[in-house]
Structure 1
Amino acid sequence: MPRSPMQLLDGLLDDGGMETAVHRFVLGGPFGAEPADTTAERLAHFADAGGLLVETSHSYAGGKAEVAVGDWLRKNPGALGVATKVGHDTTGGDIPLDRETVFEHVRSALENLGVDAIDVLLYHCDDPTRPVAELADTLMSLVAAGHVRRVGVSNWTAERLSQLAVELAERGPTPVASYQFSLAEPDPALLDGSLHADTAVLDVVRGHRLPLIGWSSQARGHFARTGPKAHHGKPDPYDTEDNRARRLRCRELAVEIGSLPETVALAWTLRHRGVWPSIGARTTAQIDNSLQARRLTLTEEQVRWLRDGR
């Protein structure tokens, strides 16, 4: 009997393995800030192509993103799992992660999404004023209440992430981590407080065998462009000397193997076991270009050369 999308999702999150008909890509995008037909077309295309998980947040699009995803999920129950994040208000600002506030936002997210349980619930930020044990207790209370199936965090320091992994090790499924992760490493000063999966974070992820949702896995289109692109009027955090060199190497290899530079960059990301690249495709064609990365088998030498040039 075929396994359900959620059974497949749990299996991939647990061991980072692959299934022939599914893949590790996560679909993000401007849900709630685009026409509903565009959202529906993209979600359906992603699901038909073997996608398992759509990613959003309680704060995105001024609070409208979950509603937009939920409108499609109600018409297509069980077609995709959903990951959402709590911890920001609708302006993107951090909020206190006390138990009452978190539960209130999760109940609102459940209503917006029209689901009985959220497949992956992430803290969108940390609340350093609270002990990790308290924040872990809140997450496990959400699981016990049946509101969420898997839990995790985004943008925590490596030290706090490690503490959480230890706290949850004996209490339930392995937590999910969510950080920026791509071949292009951003200037951290330009990420507005969000965190890149640097060496310290990756050491924790690998040491505790945590699934990693790598957001901005395409570095906001860095590998498809020829120059920098401002983001919300701010400098491009990916426009660095190292990243420009990596883009040139992606182009060189793409010409050699008959692919696209951005697809090569995603293939590099997929070579990291347990990483789920989140793609912000705006069209079905962009989804297809991203999925082509599954068909590129990079050697260890190519993986190293793309990053370091040697």
Structure 2
Amino acid sequence: MPHSPLELLGQLLDQRGAESSAHRFVLGGPFGSEPLADSFARLGHFTDAGGLLVETSHSYARGRAEAAVGEWLRKNPGRLGVVTKVGHDQSGHDMPLSRENVLDHVRGSLESLGVEAVDILLYHCDDPARPVAELADTLVSLVEAGYARRIGVSNWSAGRLAALAGQLAERGHTAVASYQFSLAKPDPVRLNHPYADEVLLSVVRRHGLPLLGWSAQARGFFARPTGGVRHDGRPDPFDTEQNRARRERCGVLAEQLDSRPETVALAWTLHHQGVWPSIGPRTTEQIDRSLRARRLSLTDEQVHWLQYGT
């Protein structure tokens, strides 16, 4: 039996052992752009409910997100693992992934978070001008320096992810992948990021990679009766004919299961082994609503029907 939440985290990332009271959800949210009391309430509630990971980035809220999460971690050491991402500047733009830039970002993240090492450290972007081997060496050096326990990438192309997974495996590490993953498949033009399509998922499966699935609730798409425009005024990347049909099927199944459409959609993500869905609740009630997905054991037939309608 594991002796701490972080030991259990390691077991579940390696897809070993029973989940018991812990779960695979990852907590995101508007850390750094809201009152600390609100962040603290959700972090505590999530941890008490068996949560193991909080996700943030060096660039979120212009650097304030890591500091907000760090305030909670200092008061609650060892209770929650942390994922952070480096490679974006504080305005959200990609930066060259030179070893010097990466080390500078990582050291800043560790200071803001108030930890000696992050549990999962990800490149937030790729740097296609650099060989994958060089970028893999930089990641491994961060583990060897004691700055990170697990390493990986977010938003790389499938080909570059496959190359990195191979390079890290040769060095004794299993990469962690972070991509958009949900029942709703985004319009790639509107999303403007790689997402976990079948090509990328084949890489994840072939190399046995843990997948952190951000926007697992499709930015609230399944909780809305209609879609069309996001809160920032841009077209919703998830508002497509196929996704509206998926949302309708979630509603049908939710009535049968005495649940909610967004909860059914999250249960669909949990059906996929090795996927850690990331949720971004604004309240503790929304956390509870998401966690109810653990009690919905969908059949293979239901999972297929939700996605394809057959």
**Which stretch shows the higher mean deviation, 224-233 or 149-158?**
224-233
Corresponding residue of 2:143: 143
Pairing 1:275-286 to 2, within 5 Å after superposition:
275-286=275-286
Corresponding residue of 2:36: 36
Query: How many Å separate the matches in 2 of 1:48 and 1:138?
Result: 35
Pairing 1:216-231 to 2, within 5 Å after superposition:
216-228=215-227, 229-231=229-231
How far has the Cα of 1:232 moved from its partner? 2.5
Corresponding residue of 2:205: 206
Query: How many Å separate the matches in 2 of 1:16 and 1:272?
Result: 15
User: Helix, strand or coil for the counterpart of 1:72?
Assistant: helix
Structure 1 length-normalised TM: 0.98
Percentage of pairs with the same residue: 68
Query: How many Å separate the matches in 2 of 1:112 and 1:275?
Result: 28
Letter of the structure 2 residue corresponding to residue 179 of structure 1: Y
Q: Is the CA contact 2:24–2:276 (under 8 Å) kept in the aligned structure 1?
A: yes
How far has the Cα of 1:95 moved from its partner? 0.4
Query: How many Å separate the matches in 1 of 2:101 and 2:33?
Result: 25
Distance 1:16 1:31, change over 3 A: farther
Q: Is the CA contact 1:120–1:150 (under 8 Å) kept in the aligned structure 2?
A: yes
Query: How many Å separate the matches in 1 of 2:185 and 2:3?
Result: 37
User: Helix, strand or coil for the counterpart of 2:149?
Assistant: strand
Q: CA RMSD in A?
A: 1.0
Pairing 1:1-310 to 2, within 5 Å after superposition:
2-15=2-15, 18-192=18-192, 194-228=193-227, 229-310=229-310
**Any unmatched runs of 5+ in structure 1?**
none
Q: Is the CA contact 1:16–1:275 (under 8 Å) kept in the aligned structure 2?
A: no
Per-residue displacement from partner, 1:177-229 (whole Å, max 9, x unpaired)?
A: 0000000000011113x211011100000000000000000000000001123
User: Helix, strand or coil for the counterpart of 2:14?
Assistant: helix
How far has the Cα of 1:295 moved from its partner? 0.4
Letter of the structure 2 residue corresponding to residue 139 of structure 1: L
Q: Is the CA contact 1:87–1:123 (under 8 Å) kept in the aligned structure 2?
A: yes
Query: How many Å separate the matches in 2 of 1:253 and 1:242?
Result: 17
Q: Is the CA contact 1:46–1:287 (under 8 Å) kept in the aligned structure 2?
A: yes
**Any unmatched runs of 5+ in structure 2?**
none
Runs of 4+ in 1 over 4 A off after TM superposition: none
User: Helix, strand or coil for the counterpart of 1:214?
Assistant: strand
Query: How many Å separate the matches in 1 of 2:126 and 2:4?
Result: 33
Query: How many Å separate the matches in 2 of 1:18 and 1:152?
Result: 24
Query: How many Å separate the matches in 2 of 1:196 and 1:186?
Result: 8
Structure 2 length-normalised TM: 0.98
Q: Is the CA contact 1:17–1:274 (under 8 Å) kept in the aligned structure 2?
A: no
**Which stretch shows the higher mean deviation, 168-177 or 238-247?**
168-177
Per-residue displacement from partner, 1:246-287 (whole Å, max 9, x unpaired)?
A: 000000000111001000000000000000000001110010
Letter of the structure 1 residue corresponding to residue 65 of structure 2: A
User: Helix, strand or coil for the counterpart of 2:265?
Assistant: helix
Corresponding residue pairs, total: 309
Per-residue displacement from partner, 1:2-34 (whole Å, max 9, x unpaired)?
A: 521111111111126541110000000000001
Query: How many Å separate the matches in 2 of 1:237 and 1:172?
Result: 37
